[in-house]
Amino acid sequence: MEKFSVFMLSLAGFFTFFVIISIFYLFSALSYGPLILEFLFSQQVLLALWVSISSSTVVMIISLILGVPTAWMLANKDFKNKNILETLIVDVPHSFPPGVVGTTYLLMFQPTSPIGVLLDSLGLHIINTFWAMILVKTFISAPFLVGILTVKFRDLRKSELEVIAKSLGASDFKTFYTITLPLSRKAMVSGSARCWARALGEVAGTIVFAGAIISGVTQTMPAIIVFEAQTSLPAALTLALILATISIIILVAFKLLLERKE
């Protein structure tokens, strides 16, 4: 075998081992059998699971509604400083530590800020609510979907299939509906899954901006795991296992749905 292949395979082997050993340690929580049962019947855990899954799903839906047009614009419209805009809305949120995002929103929505004053006059309060959590999670997760879709839409633009559809009489909407959407389905499903998974795992921004302490409203599973990890490692590990298992089941369901349709 050539030295290059040995070098690449060694690094790939190290990474694979690192990931598998991490998953193995997570599943070692299976040894805390009674604890798993206890948590599965705990109202606080069930509510946290519900908040985590429902908020991630809401974030995914909002990301699709706002992300598809954004990706379409980035891929199809040419304008000055588009690269800078793309960096700002796709790449920068990736590099922001979630805690910083939460702090920024605290500043933006504090009662004395212009937005805070405006919302207050409308009788709306965001900080420490379910919608605070949605806001933080959307900022952090939506760029995953936008990034994947932008690449796909660009490929489609390059292929000229949309131009051909229009030359055959399709309006912009019909072109989008009959060509762009069906040919982007895979990217849309995988982008949505990544967005959902990222929203599910988000914790620091949620703690800072949404508080993450009101059971059934802002308290998510990752937040409980972080709090538990400071006092009881077995409890934290068990909760992480429950969350990871449910997350894996939902992501596999996404994948199966995609393959079945193909």
Partner 1 sequence: MVAVKLQGIFKNFGDNKILENINWDIEEGELMVLVGPSGCGKTTLLKIILGSINPNSGYIYFNQKLMNNVPISQRNIGFVPQNFGLFPHLNVNDNISYGLRMHKFSKSKINAQVSMFIKMLKFENLELRIPTQLSWGQQQRVALARALAIEPQLLLLDEPLSSVDWAARREITEEIHRMQKDLKITTIYVTHDINEAIDIGDRITIMSCGKIEQCDSPKELIENPKSNFVSDYLRYINNLKKI
From candidates 9, 37, 65, 164, binder to partner 1 by CB under 8 A: 164
Q: H/E element holding 80? A: none
Under the binding rule (CB under 8 A), the answer on residue 91 touching partner 1 is no
Under the binding rule (CB under 8 A), the answer on residue 161 touching partner 1 is yes
From candidates 64, 108, 119, 183, binder to partner 1 by CB under 8 A: 183
How far apart (Å, rounded) are the C-alpha atoms in residues 74 and 83? Answer: 9
From candidates 79, 122, 182, 261, binder to partner 1 by CB under 8 A: 182
Nearer to partner 1, 23 or 181 (CB): 181
Under the binding rule (CB under 8 A), the answer on residue 83 touching partner 1 is no
Give the pair of three-digit tokens for residue 259. 């393959």
How far apart (Å, rounded) are the C-alpha atoms in residues 172 and 163? Answer: 10
Under the binding rule (CB under 8 A), the answer on residue 171 touching partner 1 is yes
Contacts of 234 by beta carbon, 8 Å cutoff, 6+ apart:
29, 32, 35
Candidates 221, 74, 65; CA nearest to 150 is 74
DSSP state of 176: I
CB of 18 to partner 1, least distance (A): 38
Under the binding rule (CB under 8 A), the answer on residue 179 touching partner 1 is yes
Radius of gyration of the chain (CA): 22
Nearer to partner 1, 3 or 158 (CB): 158
Stretch in the footprint of partner 1 (CB under 8 A) among 90-98, 176-184, 227-235, 239-247: 176-184
From candidates 22, 44, 110, 159, binder to partner 1 by CB under 8 A: 159
- In degrees and rounded to multiples of 5, residue 110 shows phi and psi of -65, 150
Give 3-state DSSP helix, strand, coil % of the chain, rounded to 5: 80, 0, 20
Give one DSSP letter per residue of 83-143, joined into a string: HHHHIIIIIHHHHS-HHHHHHHHHHHHSTTSHHHHHHHHTT---TTSHHHHHHHHHHHHHH
From candidates 165, 188, 193, 199, binder to partner 1 by CB under 8 A: 165
CB of 169 to partner 1, least distance (A): 4
24 by DSSP, 3-state: which?
helix
Stretch in the footprint of partner 1 (CB under 8 A) among 1-9, 34-42, 80-88, 162-170: 162-170
Under the binding rule (CB under 8 A), the answer on residue 82 touching partner 1 is no
Under the binding rule (CB under 8 A), the answer on residue 166 touching partner 1 is yes
Under the binding rule (CB under 8 A), the answer on residue 75 touching partner 1 is no
Under the binding rule (CB under 8 A), the answer on residue 163 touching partner 1 is yes
Using CB under 8 A as the criterion, which residues of the chain lie in contact with partner 1 when the complex forms? 159-161, 163-172, 174, 178-179, 182-183
